[in-house]
């Protein structure tokens, strides 16, 4: 998703992108459900910023 955000002109703010990357890294150990929830959260921000 992060690649997609950059490719489409960056509808997430830079600090949101960094937070997204950090949260995804931290939750990588917790498996799929955690990542899915983070994606959903940032998808809302992404759509709002658009």
Residues 16-39 have pLDDT tens digits of 888 888 888 887 766 667 778 888
Enumerate the domain spans of the chain.
2-49
Degrees, nearest 5: CA angle 13-27-33 = 100
User: pTM to 2 decimals?
Assistant: 0.56
3-state secondary structure of 25: helix
Residue pLDDT, tens place only, 37-46: 888 888 888 8
At 12 the pLDDT is 75
At 2 the pLDDT is 53
Find the Cα–Cα–Cα–Cα dihedral 27, 20, 40, 1, rounded to 10°: -100
Q: Is the pLDDT of residue 14 over 70?
A: yes
């Amino acid at each position: 998703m992060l690649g997609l955000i950059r490719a489409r002109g960056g509808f997430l703010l830079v600090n949101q992108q960094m937070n997204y990357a950090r949260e995804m890294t931290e939750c990588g150990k917790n498996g799929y459900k955690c990542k899915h929830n983070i994606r959903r959260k940032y998808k809302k921000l992404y759509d709002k910023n658009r």
